[in-house]
A and B are shown apart, each in its own frame.
Chain A
Amino acid sequence: MLARIIASLLLVASPLAAQTTRVFDLPKGAKPHDVSPGAGGTVWYTAQGQGALGILDPATGKVEQVPLGEGSAPHGVIMGPDGAAWITDSGLNAIVRWDPKTRALKTWKLPEDTGYANLNTAAFDRDGVIWFTGQSGFYGKVDPRTDEVKVWAAPKGRGPYGIDASPDGEIFYVSLAGSHLAKIDRATGEARMIEHPESGQGARRVWADSKGDLWVSEWNTGYLARYVPATKAWSRWKLPGEEPRAYAVYVDERDMVWVSDWGANATLAFDPKTEKFVTTIPGSMAGANVRQILGRKGEVWLPESAHDRLMLVQTGG
């Protein structure tokens, strides 16, 4: 399928200078939840509504979807250090690897006694072990070298959502229902909670910048927060607008912080140097529902889950 490509130029008075946005239509019903830069310049997305890994060629707009198996409903996708797509598949209750060279799929099921984990998001640590969250109240890991799968019950139960690795390969996750940040002791598997200054804020996703500071999107309160592990200090900035709802957060290669706001149907860029929101990228249509953000140099990708579209922001970086 050739996707329809819509290009527009946004002239924005900001450190980001002029930015171009492009929108790529995906198969109807795909419901792209997460997105990741893929192999060979492609972009991967989880077609949560169709149980597939989507592959977009931005140069041509061509889209292919790789079925992941009966019952699949993939949530997250990232590229592993091996260049493969690693998928947290909540429908299969499994971690799935897709190799872009051989097109082979490999699946690691969670232990039966875990029950339905509602697998969410994953990140690789510095040893090549993939760690994941399960929103039903779990986190865990898969070691690709040994095929070992381990799952732990999360402190405070349900809620583990976004997860990321710091530049030194340590693993942090946030709990949406539990409203906290946690660091995983990779040796013991223990999750140590890092309490947030405001209870009930709904920490939804987390992303580390180049210094290892952690940026958190607060769903319930509409704040963007930063935790500095070196000083254990929190800072918070309220998103503009009357009723912001911060869903996704991502830090690009220039340490600009991107956050999606469902209240404003927009994605914002925040400059930590000036502590200002400097850019607003409106959704391509009303209610775009951007649930995750990821990118690579010069590109920020926004999956518009409600409209079966991916938006590319070319930052000129």
Chain B
Amino acid sequence: MILALVLAAVAADPAAARAFQKCLSCHSVVAGEARLPGPNLAGVLGRRAGSLPDFDYSPAMRAAGVVWDEATLNRFLDAPDEVVPGTAMAVPPRTSAEERVLIFSLFAPAMQPPAAPPAARRPGR
């Protein structure tokens, strides 16, 4: 479902898709796509940095104590070594603020945190 959503978004916004070309060498926004050089970005908003269980983060990223939202991602992409000193993503492709707005607008749905499971119904007394 998310893949379909991503493909539809790319078709709808080629400029944003072109901006995301700076990210896709290493990252995917398709849930479950693994074994890329960078961590999967599906559901990244609200996620603690360095916390995906199936990705081999740098020690710096695991210890960063950052929770990703648009503001922290923006700062990190602008100056990664200032936000997470020692990150392996030391020199990412440089994105302008305008490009990041496009990327977030295109992929915000895929980057949203996964929906919480419905609360368990309290058994009746």
Q: Chain A residues in contact with chain B, CB under 8 A?
A: 31, 33, 48-49, 71, 73, 90-91, 115-116, 118, 135-137, 158-159, 176-177, 179, 200, 202, 219-220, 243, 245, 287, 289, 305-306
Contacts and interface: CB of A to CB of B under 8 A. Distances in A.
A139 B35 CA distance: 21
Nearest to A91: B94
The 4 A-B pairs of least Cβ separation, nearest first, read A135-B25, A116-B21, A118-B25, A48-B91
B59 interface: yes
Contact of B35 (A90, A136, A220, A245): A220
A225 B24 CA distance: 26
A203 to B, nearest CB: 12
B93 A90 contact: yes
Contact of B91 (A73, A176, A287): A73
Contact of A33 (B25, B35, B91, B93): B91
B114 interface: no
A71 B99 CA distance: 15
10 contacts: A73-B91, A73-B94, A115-B21, A116-B21, A116-B22, A116-B93, A136-B22, A137-B25, A243-B56, A245-B56
Contacts of A220: 35
Contacts of B58: 287
B18 interface: yes
Given A90-B93, A136-B24, A158-B25, A219 B37 contact: yes
B91 A31 contact: yes
A177 B90 CA distance: 19
Query: Chain B: interface secondary structure?
Result: loop
B94 A71 contact: yes
B86 interface: yes
Contacts of B36: 177
Nearest to B59: A287
Contacts, number: 57
A176 B24 contact: no
Interface string B84-119: 001010110110000000000000000000000000
A91 B35 CA distance: 25
A126 to B, nearest CB: 29
Contacts of A176: 37
Given A159-B25, A219-B37, 5 more contacts: A49-B91, A118-B93, A135-B26, A136-B21, A245-B56
A73 to B, nearest CB: 6
Contacts of A48: 90-91
Nearest to B34: A200
B86 A287 contact: yes
Contacts of A49: 90-91
Contacts of B91: 31, 33, 48-49, 73
